[in-house]
Chains A and B, each alone.
Chain A
Amino acid sequence: MSVQSLEIVRSSASTWGGLTGVRSLPVLSKYIDSSSCIGCKACEVACQEWNDLPVVKTSQVGTYQTLPELDASYWNLIRFEEREHENGFSWLMRKDQCMHCGDPGCLKACPAPGAIVQYANGIVDVNADQCIGCGYCATGCPFNIPKFHEKTAKMQKCTLCVDRTRLGLEPACVKSCPTGCLHFGTKEDMLVLASQRVGQLKKNGFAEAALYDPPGVGGTSVITVLAFGNHPEWYGLPKDPSIPWTIKLWKNVLRPFGFIAIVGAIVGAFGHHLYYGNKGHIDPAPLDDEPPQA
């Protein structure tokens, strides 16, 4: 963590001193081709193993999906959706995890200094020791990713294997994937691979195939090719995600306005006193306790 602190470009609730940004690094990216995922869950297992996460009790949701939702101890979930469409019917698999947004809503909403940081390489990471478990990050995230540990209430989510990628290794999930639907590298390279795949899919009859790299959150470091790119909601993805307007209103408008209003009130009270003096001294009657003559 101490070495990486040189690479922090954004830090939650930090006025100054929280950022270093000494190093500039190429933005890294995980590219997911949802169309070649076979739903084998090797990546789920690899994630649990590498991050040494405890066993989470699975639950039968009537599909080939391990859990209904991500969990504080389950950061990677292959979502499964059975979908009928005009050309027949498809099983849609999508790897659900933190998207590592360019403009992370979790970080914007978090009130704890340094609890959520973004490194120069685009990874959004959580410092559990700073987290106060308030849950604001979940309110700011457009993808419903942050989950909270039952006992400690700390937020936990995918780190993009920050401890592997630092050393030049690919994330554990990418390493384990048997079909080659997961790739890792610089975002530049991944965009090239992804657009090749989109071209292939289009040729194969998926006219609406597209890359999901939503500009509303500044692009993401986890980019996903969707065969039905015009229907991200089929995959459980929001169509045009951005940081909720309420969170922006709170941080960008109300907070500065609040400062101005409170300081203004204090200055106003002082000003009032300087200008008008003590109220009551305008009363012409003498300040004794006798009632004025009627």
Chain B
Amino acid sequence: MSSVRQQIGLDVGALKARDTEDVIVGKEIIRHRLSSRVIHWLVADFFFLCAATGLPVFSPVFGWLGNLFGGLAVCRVIHPFAGLAFFASAAAMFLHWKREMQMTAQERGWVGPKLLEYLRDKANHDQIGKYNGGQKVFFYTAALAALGFLVSGVVLWFPLTFAGFLRQLAILVHNVTFIAFFVSIVFHIYLGTTAEPGTFNAMTRGTVSKAWARIHHPKWYRELMGTDK
């Protein structure tokens, strides 16, 4: 069956990636099944919608972004709803991945020096499984940010209900969350694209090459190949 499909050009890897992951198909490994990818891109799209409608409020320098949606007044209407959608998809993402993202004791070091080691290409990758410590740290950063955005955003949404110091605090929380998370996102995008060729494919087609897996996630690779001791 599958050989016929291959002959007529059916993409077995992509088809299998609809509902399975962590399996080897020929020279490829399926890294993210379809549901994982859909959730990821929902979060990403709603994040960008939030950013595009929030940035003109952050500074008039980004007013042109607001104009794409019909002006600042429209952004003010869209943004909180986009925010709710962002939170909902981020919550789904959290539930979807939380088991795989449990951190081991050594991985806690990724919050500090290990992350720099990794960025300086000095890290020893040998024990890295499907996700490295940095990815896990980013996963929790996203969860925390979604929560911070939601709580402060709802306060900002209803100026008549919430007033006084609570609102001042909400402005600060929303702003700090935004800056911190946006900086993380820049690195997330960089590491997921140009920094490590082959990575972007994992979130689009769902697959990576065996070589990619062996270089970046050797323990995961060994587990799948059955060579892990």
Which residues of A does B touch, CB under 8 Å? 13-15, 111-113, 132-136, 138-139, 148, 244, 246-247, 249-250, 254-255, 257-259, 261-262, 264-266, 269, 272-273, 276, 278-280, 282-283, 285, 287-289, 291-292, 294
Contact = CB atoms under 8 A, between A and B. Distances in A.
Interface of chain B, main secondary structure: helix
Nearest to A16: B60
Given A269-B190, A273-B190, 20 more contacts: A14-B60, A15-B61, A111-B58, A113-B63, A133-B76, A134-B156, A134-B159, A138-B159, A246-B168, A246-B169, A255-B58, A258-B58, A258-B179, A259-B59, A262-B186, A272-B195, A285-B214, A285-B215, A287-B211, A289-B211
B176 interface: yes
Contacts of A254: 172, 175-176, 179
Nearest to A290: B210
A257 B172 CA distance: 13
Nearest to A246: B168
Interface of B: 27, 56-61, 63, 72-73, 75-76, 119-121, 156, 159-160, 163, 165, 167-169, 171-172, 175-176, 178-179, 182-183, 186-187, 190-191, 194-198, 209-212, 214-216, 221-222, 225, 227
A258 B195 contact: no
| 8 nearest CB pairs, A to B | A135-B159, A289-B210, A246-B168, A269-B190, A265-B186, A258-B179, A265-B183, A111-B57
Contacts of B160: 135, 148
B227 A244 contact: no
Contacts, number: 127
21 contacts: A13-B60, A15-B60, A111-B60, A113-B72, A136-B159, A136-B171, A139-B159, A255-B59, A255-B175, A257-B179, A259-B59, A272-B195, A273-B194, A273-B195, A276-B119, A278-B194, A279-B195, A287-B211, A287-B215, A291-B214, A292-B214
A282 B163 contact: no
Identify which of A133, A139, A272 gathers the most chain B CB atoms within 10 Å of its CB: A139
A287 B59 CA distance: 46
Contacts of A283: 215
Contacts of A288: 211
A132 B73 contact: yes
Contact of A250 (B159, B172, B212): B172
A204 to B, nearest CB: 38
B176 to A, nearest CB: 7
**Max count, chain A CB within 10 A of own CB: residue among B61, B175, B187:** B175
B190 A272 contact: yes
Contacts of A272: 119, 190, 195
Nearest to B225: A291
